[in-house]
Structure 1
């Protein structure tokens, strides 16, 4: 069965909003108070039973910032050994050109192993609590074929970190095409994360905030 659907605020947004007491509107993902740091005593409830559930788990994993979060994050990505397919991230051409101009290393393949190292580098970039949101990219509908075990979702993503005094800083912002397969254990996992250009005008979405840019910066 093929589904086409989308919501303004999907499960990932609601989950992280509930975790931090965040508003669902506005640019700042955090209340104007200092959030408590993530606690290692909090049980990270993972759910990969549907593509949106997997995105929700990714958001919670980034908010966790610890080893439990890293494992939950990696379990959202296809593992060649276990799932028969691997995870790959694709960068915007503009991002590749910018890093090439700076003589930076551009890996031939950004795979799951590289993403594992990136996780800790990314969550260590700021000491404050992290919040992540996923929202529908209305330019394209979701395509979910449960019979074939494949799905493609189009999303806007944003990650913010809380600063002292109640403000926040944006660490990642952009749009992505996300391809999933239904893997072992009835898990919907990502096989391809492809950053895509923002809608016009693009000025509010600098490419140095895309996940691809952060991956190359923090590899």
Structure 2
């Protein structure tokens, strides 16, 4: 009996009264766990790693959850770096269209859980995938630290059939590979920053890209 997880906003949890209520609820379940969440619906956190340490220090038994809006795909790398540099149970990903890939790559980097909607109309946050997209298109359950990543770099990119085609082929041959839509907005500067960030993080496991409009010339 009782709940398995309570997802509670960290700033609200700091109230002694709230902590006492949560402790009572958790005590009623032998499996009860606390997720302490922080959200930024506008942009990145100023100090993501410091915020992570603050949560884990104040309540070590909790699972820290750090979620922020990526206004550009390049904003996702801070979440990736946090997952790569920490261990244990933790959750980190980005919201928004630009943060789409973080919801998938987070699994590869050991994020404790992700969040999906039953269908698009039931989404609770911008950029959220449906359970069908996670399980069928991106084979979420089979993603591992060894999964190799590929992708199509474009803007816009949501209309591209490349992820569906490539991932179906990977699934057919049993390859531990995943093909992602990479929304790289802006011009040459943003494209080059994205590529530098990828190349500096070999542990992400990217192995190749298709490049189309508007970055074909930028890739030369």
Structure number with the higher helix fraction is 2
Q: Of the two, which has the highest radius of gyration?
A: 2
Structure number with the higher strand fraction is 1
Identify the structure with bigger relative contact order (alpha carbons < 8 Å, sequence gap 6+): 1
